[in-house]
């Protein structure tokens, strides 16, 4: 498969990518404690995978209230910025391009993870039902727990959060990242504002879809002003079926997901950002995105488009050849195969994924996967 279209260069913002394979944001929970600081082990993990044409870091919280899982890294303190610097230096030494995913979980958190044990914050005081937070119960050990009823943010607090996103973007650039991705997917804070299920506000950020998109719009504008729109991407996770209730939180299924997300794409197009990343449902028998939606996204958005979700190289190649995608992201295969692009391009077999070490721990299941040996 050395002639695969995925093995061709592409311009993304100010960067020329060597191929069209993406390492997407993957939560691994390896940050140093206390302080949620990126480590040299994390630097090695990303360095190993720097043959990806494009990389996005695991979600990194923009403030203390943004954390929903123990041991995830932050990007809001000087120590965290320095921690990430060793990651970006390692990636750049290998010729890689890496953006930081800016993350705030909103209501998907727990008192144990919040400053002073407070309630998590959210658009509205509506408790999530199909998702859990992860708290530490002992050094190196933890458990999934039900999030409590969150506290609704005031209008001024929402505006303050917009400023925190912009500052986190500046921090990411100071840490050596090539740009940032706004996490607006998977039922987290920005997704909560977009969703009519999670957002029942009566101020300028609630009610109509235009108002519910206001938080995203202001973040995109503020981050673009802070670091430039060509250093910015946004990730969505639209779902077109809510039959599997255990998975609804992945994308907060809307009554009209096509209209909701095409309007959201219009926000991004107006801002002129570098790319849009779409995380498809990735469980067995998950609903596929309708072709009508893919075509509408391509018609409305002039930047680069990334798709992720149980893709094979063959399926990804077809999507790119059809003109509906520019890059394809591979999550679980990249965890188990640090040299994934070379394996895909040469038809080499893949390492199996080990469940042990997926979340938290040491180098086992993290940096100890072997490269291909012929």
For residue 120, what is the enclosing H or E element?
none
pLDDT grade for 249, boundaries at 50, 70 and 90: low
Position with higher pLDDT, 244 vs 370: 370
Q: How far apart are CA 315 and CA 159, in angstroms?
A: 41
Percent of the residues in the chain that have a pLDDT greater than 70, as a whole number: 96
* pLDDT at residue 320 tops 90: yes
* pLDDT at residue 2 tops 60: no
Per the annotation, the verdict on 188 as an active-site residue is yes
Q: What is the pLDDT of residue 251?
A: 59
* pLDDT at residue 244 tops 70: no
Beta bridge partners of 182: 102, 234
Distances (CA, A) of 307 to 24, 289, 312: 10, 10, 12
Please compute the mean of the pLDDT values over residues 325-340 and round it to a whole number.
98
Q: What is the pLDDT of residue 245?
A: 47
pLDDT grade for 254, boundaries at 50, 70 and 90: confident
Write out pLDDT tens, residues 110-127. 999 999 999 999 999 999
Domain positions in the chain? 5-346
Please compute the mean of the pLDDT values over residues 198-210 and round it to a whole number.
97
* Average of per-residue pLDDT values in the chain: 95
Most confident of 38-42, 247-251, 256-260: 38-42
pLDDT grade for 1, boundaries at 50, 70 and 90: very low
| Residue from 50, 54, 44 nearest 19 by CA | 54
Q: What is the pLDDT of residue 205?
A: 98
Q: What is the pLDDT of residue 243?
A: 52
Which pTM does this prediction carry?
0.97
If you compute the radius of gyration of the chain from its CA atoms, what whole number of angstroms results? 19
Please compute the mean of the pLDDT values over residues 50-79 and round it to a whole number.
98
Give the least confident one: 146-160, 222-236, 249-263: 249-263
* pLDDT at residue 315 tops 80: yes
CATH class of 5-346: alpha beta
231 close to 178: Cβ distance less than 8 angstroms: yes
Q: What is the pLDDT of residue 283?
A: 73
Position with higher pLDDT, 172 vs 131: 172
Of 188, 261, 275, 311, the active-site residue reads 188
273 close to 225: Cβ distance less than 8 angstroms: no
């Amino acid at each position: 498969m050395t002639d695969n279209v995925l093995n061709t260069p592409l311009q993304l913002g100010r960067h020329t990518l060597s191929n069209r394979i993406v390492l997407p944001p993957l939560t691994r929970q390896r940050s140093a404690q206390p302080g949620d600081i990126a480590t040299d082990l994390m630097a090695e993990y990303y360095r190993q995978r720097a043959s990806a044409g494009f990389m996005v870091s695991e979600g990194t919280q923009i403030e203390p209230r943004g954390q929903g899982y123990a041991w995830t890294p932050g990007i809001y303190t000087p120590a965290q910025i320095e921690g990430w610097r060793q990651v970006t230096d390692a990636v750049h030494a290998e010729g890689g391009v890496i953006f930081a995913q800016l993350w705030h979980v909103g209501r998907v958190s727990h008192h144990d993870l919040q400053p002073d044990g407070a309630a998590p914050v959210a658009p509205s005081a509506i408790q999530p039902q199909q998702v859990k937070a992860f708290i530490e119960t002992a050094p190196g050990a933890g458990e999934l727990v039900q999030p409590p009823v969150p506290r609704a943010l005031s209008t001024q607090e929402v505006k303050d959060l917009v400023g925190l996103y912009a500052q986190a973007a500046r921090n990411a650039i100071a840490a050596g990242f090539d740009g940032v991705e706004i996490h607006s997917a998977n039922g987290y804070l920005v997704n909560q504002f977009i969703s009519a299920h999670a957002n029942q506000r009566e101020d300028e950020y609630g009610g109509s879809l235009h108002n519910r998109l206001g938080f995203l719009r202001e973040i995109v504008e503020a981050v673009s002003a802070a670091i430039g729109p060509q250093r910015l991407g946004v990730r969505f996770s639209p779902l077109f079926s809510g039959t599997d209730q255990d998975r609804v939180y992945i994308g907060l299924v809307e009554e009209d997901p096509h209209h909701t997300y095409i309007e959201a794409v219009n926000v991004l197009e107006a801002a002129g950002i570098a790319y849009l990343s779409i995380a498809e449902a990735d469980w067995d028998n998950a609903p596929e995105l309708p072709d009508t939606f893919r075509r509408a996204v391509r018609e409305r958005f002039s930047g680069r488009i990334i798709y992720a979700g149980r893709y094979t190289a063959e399926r990804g190649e077809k999507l790119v050849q059809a003109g509906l995608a520019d890059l394809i992201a591979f999550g679980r295969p990249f965890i188990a195969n640090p040299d994934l692009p070379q394996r895909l391009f040469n038809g080499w077999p893949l390492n199996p994924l080990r469940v042990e070490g997926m979340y938290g721990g040491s180098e086992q299941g993290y940096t100890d996967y072997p490269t291909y040996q012929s």
